[in-house]
Amino acid sequence: MPAGSDVFGKRYGEVLLVRMGDSGPEATVYNTFPLNDCPAELWDALDAQALAEENGAAAALLNGPRYWLMSSIEKDAGEVQETASFGGIDMIRQATVKLSSMNPAPYSVNVVDRRARFTFDAGRPVFELLDPDGRRWVMQTWSQTVDKSLTLEDLHGLGSRLSLPDGWRFQTRTLDTPLVIDTTARDAHVLGDDFANSYSLQD
């Protein structure tokens, strides 16, 4: 996706096809962005069990609707994009995830091969988790999977609604300078909270 395309607040959805790999469950991630905005009438009609059977997967996970919180996403333009259609929704294969389990619990870390660079622009809000080791996890997308009415404005007060593990805390701030999470040459480490919002580890 071209640098400079502002994706902040854009809606999308994902289908994860889960298979058992040599080291545990792995998911191939298909994403609607930027092909479409995850049309509600088609998304709501998706049947995860049927998708798994149709695609020879152990399970299918429906991840969305979701909304981007970064300002731009850069991926290697030289990569050949593999597309697929699920229930009439066109998607692009975007990543492979080594899952911590078949149904990862909140605050468990998943390893993602996505080869991408996320930039959060100055002046934009960021929502972060700080773990007991002092590491910073930056919310990359918010989700309406658990709370279908969750909005960007709600995220500012999200800390009071989270069941955080001991020693973790949630904070929000406005960026003075751009924040970049670059996983073009390494795996990303990603976790979710109680509302299925997703966070990337900032190195």
Each residue's pLDDT tens digit, 119-146: 999 999 999 999 999 999 999 999 999 9
- Whether pLDDT at 186 is above 80: yes
User: What proportion of the chain, given as a percentage, has pLDDT over 70?
Assistant: 95
- C-alpha 71/C-alpha 3 separation (Å) is 10
Interstrand relation of 89-98 and 83-86 (parallel, antiparallel or unpaired): antiparallel
The answer to whether position 128 is within a domain reads yes
Q: What is the longest distance spanned by two Cα atoms in the chain?
A: 48
The answer to whether position 16 is within a domain reads yes
Domain span at residue 56?
A: 11-202
- C-alpha 3/C-alpha 186 separation (Å) is 20
The answer to whether position 2 is within a domain reads no
Residue 56: count other Cβ atoms within 10 Å of its Cβ. 8
The answer to whether position 6 is within a domain reads no
Residue 87: C-alpha distances to residues 70, 75, 164 (Å): 28, 26, 36
- Whether pLDDT at 77 is above 80: no
What is the reported pLDDT for 134? 95
CA 26: distance to chain centroid? 15
The answer to whether position 39 is within a domain reads yes
What is the reported pLDDT for 23? 83
CA 99: distance to chain centroid? 13
- Whether pLDDT at 57 is above 70: yes
The answer to whether position 3 is within a domain reads no
What is the reported pLDDT for 1? 45
The answer to whether position 4 is within a domain reads no
Residue 163: count other Cβ atoms within 10 Å of its Cβ. 9
- C-alpha 181/C-alpha 175 separation (Å) is 14
- Higher pLDDT pick, 78 / 18: 18
The answer to whether position 1 is within a domain reads no
The number of folded domains in the chain is 1
Least confident of 7-21, 91-105, 131-145: 91-105
CA 24: distance to chain centroid? 20
What is the reported pLDDT for 100? 73
